[in-house]
């Protein structure tokens, strides 16, 4: 222990050979549990002119998270990651108490890719006594997940702004699987003149196309097999886009039909929206976002794909 709220451990860089790493030696990883100590760490290195990258997570790390950390490691002098299961973004009937956690494995993964500081605060330190200030990003928070998870993005925007204020990152990294979250953060940063660069990173997928998610661990083997229907539905939409289809109703029907072929899959929403405003399209023109939320058994999964006609490759995300 090097001070209140700070622990220094030595982790193996590249220990996870099955995930494509190589053993290169050891790297020190500071685990910081205090907001005040995290601020001191950030101020010390910022004053020295160091750039800081931040990867915010809720833990139970998978290759999607690790890919963000690898990029942050390449692009910054120092890399911080946070693990915080944020209570303000969960509804009363959601999985806050059962959200998967494995802090020991998460710490080793962070060490393996060269994270310098792992910030793991307690809820009572993030939201102190009498806490009553929240960030509401209005229009882009309302559709899609905002409609079915009221208050979710209020909690997301609030905790992300608090993390930015605490860590003072130069760059902050988010995966595009949570596309609406990315747009909420982009809007908040723009509107509140937050001095940080938001870096979107491609969705990382399993071999069969299922988007990586910590909640995939909830799926039974049969549900896991059926869950790939989200990816298949998005590719059906991409075929329509490539063929020049302009009717949103056609996209919605094709995606819904593919999802409901699976007995365990029940759509929460199937949408085709503008990728910036997230408003429903009346006609498909040069760009579109196909977005899905589907319950497979009891597990709610999300996925999306962005289409652009001015992108010759039209590569899905």
**Which CATH number goes with the domain that contains 146?**
3.40.50.620
As a whole number of angstroms, the distance between CA 311 and CA 313 comes to 5
- 296 occurs within a structural domain: yes
Q: Which residues participate in catalysis according to the annotation?
A: 65
Q: Would you tell me how many other CB atoms lie within 10 Å of the CB of residue 239?
A: 10
SS3 69: helix
Q: Are residues 175 and 262 in the same domain?
A: no
- Provide the token pair at 1: 């222990």
Tokens representing 143? 């559709």
| Non-local CB neighbours of 313 within 8 Å, separated by 6+ positions | none
Regions of the chain short of the pLDDT cut 70: 1-27, 311-317
Digit-coded pLDDT (tens) for 255-297: 999 999 999 999 999 999 999 999 999 999 999 999 999 999 9
> How many structural domains is the chain composed of?
2
Tell me how many degrees the CA angle 81-85-91 measures, rounded to the nearest 5: 145
Is residue 173 located within the same domain as residue 249? no
Q: Is residue 208 part of a domain?
A: no
| Domain final residue, candidates 144, 179, 201 | 201
Question: Are 58 and 101 in a shared domain?
Answer: yes
User: What pLDDT is recorded for position 169?
Assistant: 98
For 276, phi and psi rounded to 5 degrees? Answer: -100, -45
Looking at the fold, whether 82 and 141 belong to one and the same domain comes out as: yes
Report the alpha-carbon distance of residue 219 to residue 225 in Å, rounded: 9
Among 121, 123, 95, smallest CA distance to 217 is for 95
Is residue 174 a contact partner of residue 57, using CB atoms and an 8 Å limit? no
Same domain, 196 and 223: no
Is the domain of 132 the same as that of 224? no
Task: Give yes or no: residues 146 and 50 share one domain.
Answer: yes
Task: Please state the φ and ψ torsions of residue 88, each to the nearest 5 degrees.
Answer: -75, -10
What is the 8-class DSSP label of residue 95? S
In this structure, the answer to whether residues 228 and 191 fall within a common structural domain is: no
Task: State whether 160 and 293 are in the same domain.
Answer: no
- DSSP assigned state of 209: S
Distances (CA, A) of 31 to 38, 122, 277: 9, 13, 38
Name which of 86, 313, 317 is nearest 200 in CA terms. 317
pLDDT score, position 172: 99
Closest to 51 measured CA to CA, from 156, 158, 167: 167
Helix/strand/coil percentages in the chain, nearest 5: 40, 25, 40
Q: Which of these three, 201, 230, 255, is where a domain ends?
A: 201
pLDDT of 40 reads 98
* pTM: predicted TM-score of the whole model, two decimal places: 0.91
Residues 234 and 123 reside in one and the same domain? no
- Answer with the one of 201, 224, 256 that is the final residue of a domain: 201
Quote the longest CA-to-CA distance of the chain. 61
Are 187 and 141 contained in the same domain? yes
CA-based end-to-end distance of the chain: 42
- In sequence order, the β-bridge partners of residue 173 are 199
Alpha carbon 140 to its chain's center = 16
Write out the residue range of the structural domain in which residue 141 sits.
Answer: 6-201
Integer-rounded Cα radius of gyration of the chain: 20
Instruction: Output the CA angle 213-218-224, nearest 5 degrees.
Output: 75
Euclidean distance between CA atoms 96 and 160, whole angstroms: 18
Based on the fold, state whether residues 60 and 191 are members of the same structural domain. yes
> How many residues does the structure list for the chain?
317
């Amino acid at each position: 222990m090097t001070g209140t709220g700070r622990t220094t451990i030595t982790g193996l860089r590249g220990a996870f050979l099955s995930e494509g790493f190589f053993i290169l030696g050891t790297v020190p990883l500071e685990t910081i549990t205090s907001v005040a100590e995290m601020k001191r760490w950030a101020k010390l290195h910022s004053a020295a002119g160091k750039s800081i990258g931040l990867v915010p997570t809720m833990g139970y790390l998978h290759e999607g998270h690790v890919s963000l950390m690898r990029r942050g490691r390449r692009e910054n002098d120092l890399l911080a990651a946070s693990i915080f299961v944020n209570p303000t973004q969960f509804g009363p009937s959601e999985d806050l108490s059962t959200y998967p956690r494995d802090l020991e494995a998460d710490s080793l993964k962070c060490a393996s890719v060269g994270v310098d500081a792992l910030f793991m605060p307690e809820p009572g330190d993030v939201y102190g006594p009498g806490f009553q200030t929240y960030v509401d990003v209005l229009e882009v928070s309302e559709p899609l997940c905002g409609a079915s998870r009221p208050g979710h993005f209020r909690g997301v925007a609030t905790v992300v702004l608090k993390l930015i204020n605490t860590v003072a990152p130069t760059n902050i990294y988010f995966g595009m699987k949570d596309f609406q979250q990315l747009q909420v953060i982009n809007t908040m940063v723009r509107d509140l003149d937050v001095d940080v660069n938001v870096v979107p990173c491609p969705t990382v997928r399993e071999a069969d196309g299922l988007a990586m998610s910590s909640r995939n661990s909830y799926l039974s083997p049969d549900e896991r097999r059926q869950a790939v229907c989200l990816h298949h539905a998005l590719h059906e939409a991409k075929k329509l886009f490539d063929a020049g289809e302009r009717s949103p109703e056609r996209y919605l029907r094709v995606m819904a039909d593919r999802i409901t072929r699976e007995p365990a899959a029940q759509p929460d929403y199937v949408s085709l929206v503008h990728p910036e405003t997230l408003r429903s399209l009346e006609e498909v023109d040069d760009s579109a976002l196909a977005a899905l939320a589907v319950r497979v058994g009891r597990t709610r999964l999300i996925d999306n794909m962005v289409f652009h006609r001015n992108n010759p490759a039209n590569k899905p995300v």
